[in-house]
């Protein structure tokens, strides 16, 4: 007889999903499914659209990281134009990406996960949220707001608006950087850097109290995948793909983004709309890999900025070899946030950032293009084929959250096996399983989108389908 | 004065409208000084409560689940706001309306070179062929267009509603941008 526990919807993630846990008759968890329950079908409905619409159109995949989609899309379009974009345009895109990374990481940490970390997993659900944080620790909440605001303002000052700006275009960007905007952002850097340092320090101080979560939140060896560069520093925009194994050894020579289909396969399971990318040479599901902040810090030998480099040393000392606990995604996010602030300062300090030549003009010169970038949640791939008139004939998108799909499922199973031993259902316990998902910070708006919110209902079902136990909140 | 009860929902949209709500920055805390957020993707309450004063819905209606949800919200809320272009017109989700869901599913799951190609259908909600705006199903009290509407617009509108004033939003909103 098989019983099942369902957590629906998973809340405080960017999107909605449900978790199903399958129990043996004795109440042990033997399988777990992270189910994504909707799909929008961008791949289909962009067919026939002119390629130059793609950055703005695919931005609407996600209101949290529209900039990531604009960049991956524009990079694919750069290949359709067959141009090398101006140096300054590339740096402006990088700047925009760092603004995006800051706002997205601040959202994940302060707004979505801090309620679990600061108020506690067993805090009453009615106030276990950002507003509960604002009541309990107003300064913490204000700092979170400020960091997210800074990231959004970088985007606004460069691109004209915070969400879905129409500034990134095939061939570069629309307008050069305004000198006042540059001065304003630079003026705010010291304050923001201090905030980023403070909260990283504060998180490190509290790390000991999360030992339980560190042990059971998706802690296992896996491959790690991300963009790389010759310096071995953190790379978000360009470069070949690097993959390491659980021991930190390189599993393949640096791979060309354009050849992604040679090394990334996508599998389909009947119970979720989110596909399962895997590293092809190791097959499915053996070729499980992780992307995003944890993967990037595991892949890089250094961050490339002063303060973040110091932090990276501590981070790398957490475990022997690559850091394997997904709880440390939170930690990695805070280091990346600090690094992004430092990078914004470095990029803005370069006088060529004000250069007026920010766009290469061309028509369609190639019929196929692949754009790959590091979005806040990991590697993002846009792949287009067009006809001679530049109309999209075929498109494929592989979204950061998708890459982590296998690992998230395995992670939920690990946590569920730890927390549910005799089929007992408790609210705080289920929240811990949801918190595994939050550590990955999945963006389901990106991967498919959110379905309407439904009650959290946990049911134990008999083989005949009769409900034998049920809790709801 | 009793605090008003505000709910926000995210259906078939990109979450950009909710991000725009967050873009109020510290004003979000001013607003929550005047209203209680009783239901939202940001909070852990999982059942839509009774007696909601203002409900904002982002996104189009794309499935039977969306439709059920919308009717419950309408029934339990005083004022229903269509938040952003997807809720107001269908917008980007409605771009699939001309090809139908079968073709969308085939493109995503069968035509790409997937391992184990199949159309997922086990215990998953099926999607309507058409993504449609809120007012196709229920009475909507206020439409706020924009993709997304700006944080200023949202703050202005919500503050006015909370204070019982009427503001003209025409100059602050436009479709698309």
Same domain as A282, residue A345: yes
pLDDT of residue A364: 97
- What's the confidence (pLDDT) of residue A451? 28
- Asked whether residue A111 falls in the same domain as residue A23, the answer is no
Looking at chain B from residue 143 to 162, which residues have their Cβ under 8 Å from any Cβ of chain A?
147-148, 150-151
Given CA atoms A186, A188, A190, A192 in this order, what sign does their dihedral have?
A: negative
Write the CA distances from A125 to A22, A52, A119, A198, integer angstroms: 25, 45, 10, 28
The distance between the two most distant Cα atoms of chain B, rounded to a whole number of Å, is: 60
Examine the domain organization and report whether A429 and A303 are in the same domain: no
Q: Which candidate from A145, A267, A270 shows the least CB-CB separation from B114?
A: A267
Cα of B44 to nearest chain A Cα, Å: 6
Closest residue to A11, CB basis, from B46, B65, B104? B46
Contact with chain A for residue B128, Cβ under 8 A: no
CB proximity B37 to A under 8 Å: yes
Q: Which among A377, A403, A429 is the end of a domain? A: A403
Q: Is A48 on the interface with B (CB under 8 A)?
A: no
Residues A249 and A209 in one domain: yes
- The structural domain count of chain A equals 2
Of A9, A63, A267, the CB nearest to B15: A63
- How far off is chain B from A131, nearest CA to CA, in Å? 8
Cis peptide before A9 (omega within 30 of 0): yes
Domain residue limits at A20: 3-40+407-472
Contacts of A241 (CB under 8 A, 6+ apart): A225, A226, A227, A228, A254, A255, A256, A257, A260, A263, A372, A379
CB-CB contact of A237 with A71 (8 Å): yes
Alpha carbon of A124: minimum distance to chain B alpha carbons (Å)? 9
Task: Return the CATH number at A102.
Answer: 1.10.645.10
Is the same domain home to A449 and A342? no
What is the mean pLDDT of each successive set of 10 residues along chain A, which is 473 residues long? 71 70 82 81 92 95 93 98 98 98 95 91 89 95 98 98 96 97 98 98 96 94 97 96 97 93 94 92 96 97 97 97 96 98 98 98 97 96 97 93 92 89 73 85 55 40 49 47
pLDDT at B43: 86
On whether both A166 and A178 belong to a single domain, the answer is yes
Asked if residue A253 and residue A153 are part of one domain, the reply reads yes
> Is some CB atom of chain A closer than 8 A to the CB atom of B92?
yes
The nearest CA of chain B is from the CA of A389 a distance in Å of 21
**How close A261 comes to chain B (CA, Å)?**
9
If asked whether residues A272 and A129 sit together in one domain, one would say yes
Domain boundary residue among A387, A403, A419? A403
How many angstroms separate the CA atoms of A326 and A165, rounded?
Answer: 32
A35 touches chain B (CB under 8 A): yes
pLDDT (0 to 100) of residue A41 = 82
Question: For position A467, what pLDDT does the model report?
Answer: 52
- Number of Cβ within 10 Å of residue B72's Cβ equals 16
- Where among A346, A370, A403 does a domain terminate? A403
- Superfamily, domain B4-96+130-172: NADH:ubiquinone oxidoreductase-like, 20kDa subunit (3.40.50.700)
Q: What is the pLDDT of residue A456?
A: 41
On whether both A94 and A207 belong to a single domain, the answer is yes
Are the beta carbons of B15 and A40 separated by less than 8 Å? Answer: no
Whether residue A398 is found in the same domain as residue A285 = yes
**Given this model, what pLDDT does residue B119 score?**
87
Residues with Cβ within 8 Å of B172's Cβ and at least 6 positions away in sequence, in order, are: B149, B150, B152, B153, B156
Per-residue pLDDT of B48-74, as tens digits, reads 999 999 999 999 999 888 999 999 999
**Do A64 and A192 lie in a common domain?**
yes
Are A247 and A102 members of one domain?
yes
């Amino acid at each position: 007889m098989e019983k099942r526990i369902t957590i629906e919807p998973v809340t405080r993630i960017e999107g909605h999903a449900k978790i199903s846990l399958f129990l043996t008759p004795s109440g042990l968890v033997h399988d777990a499914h992270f189910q994504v329950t909707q799909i929008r079908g961008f791949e289909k409905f962009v067919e026939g659209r002119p390629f130059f619409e793609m950055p703005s159109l695919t931005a609407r995949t996600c209101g949290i990281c529209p900039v990531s989609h604009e960049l991956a899309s524009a990079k694919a379009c750069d290949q359709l134009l067959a141009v090398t974009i101006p140096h300054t345009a590339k740096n402006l895109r990088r700047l925009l990406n760092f603004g995006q990374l800051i706002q997205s990481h601040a959202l994940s940490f302060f707004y979505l996960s801090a309620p679990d970390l600061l108020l506690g997993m067993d805090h009453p659900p009615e106030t276990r949220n950002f507003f509960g944080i604002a009541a309990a620790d107003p300064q913490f909440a204000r700092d979170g707001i400020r960091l997210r605001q800074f990231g959004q303002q970088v985007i606004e000052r460069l691109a004209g608006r915070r969400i879905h700006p129409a500034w990134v275009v095939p061939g570069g960007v629309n307008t050069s950087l305004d000198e006042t905007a540059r001065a304003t952002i630079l003026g705010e850097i010291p304050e923001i850097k201090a905030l980023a340092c403070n909260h990283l320090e504060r998180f490190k101080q509290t790390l000991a109290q999360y030992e339980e979560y560190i042990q059971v939140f998706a802690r296992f060896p896996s491959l790690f995948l991300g963009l790389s560069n010759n310096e071995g520093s953190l790379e978000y925009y360009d470069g070949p793909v690097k993959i390491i194994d659980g021991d930190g050894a390189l599993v393949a020579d640096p791979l060309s983004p354009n050849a992604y289909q040679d090394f990334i396969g996508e599998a389909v399971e009947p119970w979720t709309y989110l596909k399962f990318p895997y590293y092809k040479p190791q097959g499915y599901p053996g070729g499980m890999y992780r992307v995003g902040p944890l993967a990037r810090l595991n892949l890089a030998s250094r961050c490339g900025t002063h303060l973040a480099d110091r932090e990276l040393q501590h981070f790398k000392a957490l475990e022997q070899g690559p850091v394997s606990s997904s709880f440390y995604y939170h930690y990695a996010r805070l280091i990346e946030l600090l690094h992004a602030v430092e990078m914004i300062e470095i990029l803005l300090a370069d006088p060529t950032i004000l250069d007026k030549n920010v766009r290469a003009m061309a028509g369609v010169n190639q019929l196929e293009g692949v754009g790959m970038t590091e979005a806040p949640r990991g590697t993002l791939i846009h792949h287009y084929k067009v006809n001679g008139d530049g109309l999209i004939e075929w498109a494929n998108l592989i979204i950061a959250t998708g890459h982590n799909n296998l690992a998230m499922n395995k992670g939920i199973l690990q946590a569920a096996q730890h927390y549910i031993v005799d089929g007992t259902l408790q609210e705080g316990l289920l929240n811990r399983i949801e918190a595994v998902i939050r550590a990955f910070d999945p963006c389901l708006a990106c991967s498919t989108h959110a379905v309407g919110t439904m009650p959290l209902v946990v049911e134990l079902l008999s083989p005949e389908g009769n409900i034998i136990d049920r809790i709801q909140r | 004065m009793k605090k008003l009860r505000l709910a926000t929902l995210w259906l078939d949209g990109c979450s950009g409208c909710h991000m725009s709500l967050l873009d109020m920055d510290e004003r979000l805390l001013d607003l929550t000084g005047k209203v209680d957020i009783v239901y939202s993707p940001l909070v852990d309450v999982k059942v839509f409560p009774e007696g909601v004063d203002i409900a904002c819905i982002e996104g189009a209606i794309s499935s039977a689940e969306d439709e059920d949800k919308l009717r419950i919200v309408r029934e339990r809320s005083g004022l229903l706001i269509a938040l952003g272009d997807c809720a107001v017109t269908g917008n980007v989700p409605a771009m699939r309306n001309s090809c139908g869901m079968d073709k969308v599913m085939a493109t995503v799951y069968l035509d790409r070179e997937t391992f184990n190609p199949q159309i997922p259908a086990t215990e998953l909600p099926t999607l309507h062929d058409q993504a449609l705006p809120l007012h196709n199903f229920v009475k909507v009290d206020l439409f706020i267009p924009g993709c997304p509407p700006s944080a200023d617009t949202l703050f202005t509108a919500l503050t006015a509603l909370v204070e019982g004033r009427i503001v003209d939003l025409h100059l602050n909103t436009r479709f698309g941008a």
